[in-house]
Structure 1
Amino acid sequence: MTKKYFTIEEANQLIPSLMQELIELKNLQVSFDNQLKQLNEIKSLNTEEVQTQTEDIFKMESELEFLEIQAQLHVNNIHNSGGFLKGIEPGLIDFPSVKGDEDILLCWKEGEEEITHYHSEDEGFTGRKPLDTDMEE
C-alpha cells in the first residue's frame, strides 16, 4: 500500500469527520473503563460469589470484546483516511506530507480548528514546529 501524502488543505478537510471518530472513541473508552471496573469488582468477590455470577461475568466479558471491536472500527476509519492516530487523550492525528524534499507529518491536536504544526517522522509531538507560510497547499 502506497503512503498518501497530504497538502495542508486536504488534511484540514478531514478534521471534522476525524473529530467525530475521536468522539466515538472517547465514548467507547468511557464505556469500556466502566464495564471493566464492574467486571473487576465482581471478580474480586470471594470464590463462591463469583461462581454464582458466571453468566454475568461471561456477558460482561463479551460486551468488553464488542466495545473493543467497535473502537477498532473507528481506528480503522482514521487509518483508512490516511491519517495516523497517535492518541485518544488528547486526540492526536498525523498526516504524511512533504516540505521541500523532507517527509514530514502534519500534526493536528484535538481542540485546534486546523492544522498549524508539523514535525519530522522521528521527532513526534514534542518536536512540533509551526507551519511555515510558504508550505505548498
Structure 2
Amino acid sequence: MDAHRIFTPDEATALVPFLTFQFERLARLRAHVEAHLRELARAGVQVDPAHPLESPCPARLRPTLVRMVQMVSEVQRIVTGINACGCLVKDLEQGLVDFHGVVDGEPVFLCWQFGEDAVRWYHPHEGGFAARRPLEPEALCQTLYN
C-alpha cells in the first residue's frame, strides 16, 4: 500500500484558501489555453497533444502555439504542486480535490469542490463525486486514531 497523508476535515479545510487561489489561477490559464486553441483551429492548425510544438503552424501563429504550450506546462506545474501537499486533484474543470481521510474507522476520501469554503463532504474510495455524503459534525474532528 502506498503511504499517504491522512487528513482530518480541519486539516483539509486549512488548505482551502491555497486551493481556491490555485484553482482561480488554473481557471484563468485554462481559459487562455482554450482561446489559443480556438485561434489556432480557426487557422486550420491541428495541435498534436503529444508533441504540440511539432504541430505544423504558420509562422505568424507560432508565438500563440508557444504561449499555449507554456500555459499548459504551468497548469501541470500547479496541479503537481497541489498534489505535493497530499491532495489529489480529481477534475480540473469541476475543481474537485480529494484528501485521504477516515470516517467511522473506514478509509475514505474527504472531498472539496472549488467554491466551497470548507471540506464538508466525503465519499468511499470506490465511489466518486456522485457518492458524496456530508460529514457528520462528530466526524469533523475525527482522526485516524479515534
TMscore range, shorter length: 0.7 to 0.9
Q: Distance in 1 between matches of 2:84 and 2:20?
A: 15
Q: CA deviation at 1:6?
A: 0.3
TM-score by length of 1: 0.86
Corresponding residue for residue 44 of structure 2: 43
CA distance in structure 1 between the partners assigned to 2:26 and 2:127 by the alignment:
25
**Given the two structures, how large is their TM-score scaled by the length of structure 2?**
0.81
2-side partners of 1:54 and 1:128: how far apart? 47
Q: 2:97 aligns with which of 75, 93, 97?
A: 93
Measure, in 2, the Cα distance between the counterparts of 1:60 and 1:12: 38
Q: Find the counterpart in structure 2 of residue 3 from structure 1.
A: 4
Structure 1's unaligned 5+ residue stretches are 45-52
1:119 pairs with 120, 123, 137, which one? Answer: 123
% of aligned pairs identical? 27
Superposition misfits of 4+ residues, deviation over 4 angstroms: none
Is the CA contact 2:20–2:115 (under 8 Å) kept in the aligned structure 1? no
What is the CA RMSD across the aligned residues, in angstroms?
A: 1.6
- Distance in 2 (alpha carbons) for counterparts of 1:7 and 1:99: 9
Distance 2:40 2:6 in 1: 43
Task: In structure 1, give the amino acid aligned to 2:96.
Answer: L
Residue 105 (structure 1) aligned to one of 96, 99, 109: 109
User: Partners of 1:110 and 1:68 in 2: how far apart?
Assistant: 20
Larger gyration radius, structure 1 or structure 2: 1
Which is richer in helix? 1
Q: How many residues align?
A: 129
Q: Which residue of 1 aligns with 2:52?
A: none
Query: How far does residue 90 in structure 1 lie from its aligned partner after superposition?
Result: 2.4
Aligned to 1:81: 85
- Structure 2 residue runs of 5 or longer lacking an equivalent are 46-56
Please name the residue that 1:64 is paired with: 68
**Higher-RCO chain (CA-CA 8 Å, sequence separation at least 6):** 2
